[in-house]
Structure 1
C-alpha cells in the first residue's frame, strides 16, 4: 500500500511538472511557470516563486508549452499551435497536430491564448472609485467614478472611457456631471493609426449643459507592451455646445492627445498620464487643456489603490478657467 501511494505521488508530481511551461535562457538558466503572453518584446511568465516575470525576448534561447497558443509572425495574422516544443537555440517548434513547424524566435511578433470569437483579442481596463466625506463647518460629500477600457484585434483598436462626478456642500448640489468617450483606431502600419472619436459631456449644474465633440486624425503608437504604452494623436474636431438657456454654438479645433502608462517594481505600481491640449479655430479661447496624472498601486492581481490629479484649463480673451481636482480611491483592473 505504501509503495502504491509513493508511486501515485511520484506520478502526480511528474505530471504537474510536465504541464508547466519552460523557458530556456541564453545564459543557461531555465525557468518554469505559465506563459501568459508575449507582446512588445516581453514574454510574461507567471510563476509560483516570483509572480509575473517579464523576460526579454532576445534573451530567450528556446521554450516549450503544453498550452494552445496563437502565434503571430506579423502584426495581423496568426497560427494556432496546440503546443510549443523545445528546439535548437533561437528556434521553437509549433505542434498543431499536423507536421510540426520550426520557426525562428526572432520572426514571432506575438503569442497569446486564442479567444473563442476573435482569436487575437486583447482586452484590458480599469474602474476607479473615489469617495470624499468632510464633516466640519461646511459639510461636503464628493463621489467620483472613472472607467477606461481598451480592446484590440488585428488592425483595429477600440477605446472607451467615462467619468461621473457628484458633489454636495451642506446638502446643496454643487456638481453633477458625467462624460463618455469612444474612439476607434485603424492601424495603417505597425505604429501609425487613424482615429475617429466621439465625446459627450452632460452637466446638470453649470450653464454649459451639453458638449459633443466629433474628431478624426492620425496617431502614432510608440510602444505598447506588458510594461506600458505610449501614444500620441492629432485630431481635427467639431464641438457643439448647448447652454441651459437653450442657446447653441459650434466651432472647430485642432488638438493633440497623449496616453502614457508605465509599470514599475514588478508591475505593482503604475504611473499614468493622459489628456488633450487644443486650439479652437476662430474662437475666443486661446487654448484648452484637459489632463490627468496619477499613480496606481496593486494590492492584489485585480484590486488597486489610486491617487490622481485632474487639470482643466481654458485661456481666452473672455477670461480663464483653471481647475484642479485631487482624488484618492480604490479600483479594479483586468
Structure 2
C-alpha cells in the first residue's frame, strides 16, 4: 500500500504543469511559456514548441506571470510587480504588496525582467564576420572579424574585445591591422561603476604602427535589460603612439560609450560603441574610434550585420589617421 501511494504521488507530481507565463489572445487562443520582453509593439515569449515568438501587443487580451517583472508606463519610471494577474480584456493586474493595481494594456510601454545588482556568473558575446571579393579591373579581397564578449559575476563585469582587418588588392596588402581590448568594471551600486581599461592596436600598413592605452575612471550604466543596454565611462589614460619614425607618450582623457537596443520583438538590433579622446599635450587635437550598425536576426542565434567603422586621429600633418569602413556580413551570438 505504501509503495502504491508513493507511486500515485509521483505520478500526480509529474502531471502538474510547471509554472509558466500565459497570454490570452483576442481570437480566443492561449500561449504558455516565458515572457522575455515587451518593447512597445511586440511581446517576446519563449515557448517549448516554437522557441522565441514575437506577438503583436494589440492582439493580446490579457496576460499572467508568476515571476517578478519590471513594468513601465512611461519612458523613465517603472514598477517591479511581484506577479501579473489576468483581468478583463484590455487590462492586466500588477500585484505588488497588499494593493494590486489594474492598468490598461495600452498604457504599458515596456516589460522586462528586473536585473539585480548581484548576479551569478553570466556570459554573453557576439562574433561578426564580413567577407568581400571583387573581380574587376583590380582584384580586391577583404576580411573583417570582430569579437565582443561580456561576463559578469556579482559586482564585477569583464569586457573583452578583438578585431582583425585585412585587405588585398591585386595580391598586395593595402590594409592589415588588429586591436585588442579588456575592461574591468566594479559596480558601486546598480548604476555607478569604476572601470580599468587596456587597449592595444597594431597596424602593419599605416604610419601609425602601434597604439597602447591604459586608463581608469568612473562609469554610469543607464540601463541593462532584455531590450538592450547603454553605458558611458570617462577615463584618464596614459597612451603610447609608435610611428614608423618616432613615438609619442602622453596623457589623455577619453569618453567610452556602449549602446544597443532591440526593436520589433528583438528581430532588429541597433548598436554603437567606441571612444573619443583628447590628449593633454600637442601630440594631436583629438581621436575617434567607433562603430555603429544594425543586426537582423535570421535565427535565435544568427544574424545579418551591416555596420560602419571610423578610426580618426586629428593632429599634426604627418601624424594623422582617417579611415572609414562600411561592412556587410553575418554573425552569431550567445
Same fold, judged at TM 0.5 (above): yes
Note the C-alpha offset of 1:30. Answer: 7.4
Q: Cα gap change, 1:109/1:54 in structure 2, threshold over 3 Å: closer, same or farther? A: farther
Q: Distance in 2 between matches of 1:240 and 1:86?
A: 55
> Do structure 1's residue 325 and structure 2's residue 311 form an aligned pair?
no
Runs of 4+ in structure 1 off by over 6 angstroms are: 84-89
Q: Distance in 1 between matches of 2:180 and 2:115?
A: 31
1:213 matched to which residue of 2?
213
Q: Distance in 1 between matches of 2:298 and 2:262?
A: 14
Q: Which runs of 5+ in 1 are unaligned?
A: 1-10, 66-70, 73-83, 93-101, 112-117
| CA RMSD in angstroms, aligned pairs only | 3.9
Q: Distance in 1 between matches of 2:141 and 2:248?
A: 33
Note the C-alpha offset of 1:46. Answer: 0.8
Note the C-alpha offset of 1:109. Answer: 4.3
For residues 19-50 of structure 1, give each alpha carbon's deviation from its aligned partner in whole angstroms, at most 9, with x where no partner exists.
Answer: 3613589xxx9752136699xxxx96413468
Note the C-alpha offset of 1:274. Answer: 1.1
Q: Distance in 2 between matches of 1:37 and 1:120?
A: 21
2:5 matched to which residue of 1?
none
1:78 matched to which residue of 2?
none
TM-score with structure 2 length normalisation?
0.72
Q: Cα gap change, 1:110/1:255 in structure 2, threshold over 3 Å: closer, same or farther? A: closer
For residues 246-301 of structure 1, give each alpha carbon's deviation from its aligned partner in whole angstroms, at most 9, with x where no partner exists.
Answer: x4331111111111111111101101111111111112311111111101001001
2:165 matched to which residue of 1?
165
Note the C-alpha offset of 1:143. Answer: 0.3
Q: After superposition, where does 1:85-164 map in structure 2 within 5 Å? A: 109-110=114-115, 120-164=120-164
Work out whether residues 44 and 52 of structure 2, in 8 Å CA contact, stay in contact via their aligned partners in 1. no
Q: Cα gap change, 1:87/1:135 in structure 2, threshold over 3 Å: closer, same or farther? A: closer
> Do structure 1's residue 250 and structure 2's residue 249 form an aligned pair?
yes
2:258 matched to which residue of 1?
259
Note the C-alpha offset of 1:241. Answer: 2.3
2:301 matched to which residue of 1?
302
Q: Distance in 1 between matches of 2:124 and 2:53?
A: 16
Work out whether residues 45 and 54 of structure 2, in 8 Å CA contact, stay in contact via their aligned partners in 1. yes
Q: How many residues align?
A: 281
Q: After superposition, where does 1:1-334 map in structure 2 within 5 Å? A: 15=15, 18-19=17-18, 21-23=20-22, 32-34=32-34, 45-47=45-47, 48=49, 51-52=52-53, 63-64=65-66, 109-110=114-115, 120-244=120-244, 247-318=246-317, 320-334=320-334
For residues 107-133 of structure 1, give each alpha carbon's deviation from its aligned partner in whole angstroms, at most 9, with x where no partner exists.
Answer: x9448xxxxxx9622221110000111
2:6 matched to which residue of 1?
none
Q: Distance in 2 between matches of 1:166 and 1:266?
A: 35
Note the C-alpha offset of 1:323. Answer: 1.9
Q: Distance in 1 between matches of 2:18 and 2:128?
A: 37
Work out whether residues 20 and 32 of structure 1, in 8 Å CA contact, stay in contact via their aligned partners in 2. no
Q: Cα gap change, 1:239/1:274 in structure 2, threshold over 3 Å: closer, same or farther? A: same
- Secondary structure in structure 1 of the residue aligned to 2:17: helix
TM-score with structure 1 length normalisation?
0.72
Note the C-alpha offset of 1:174. Answer: 1.4
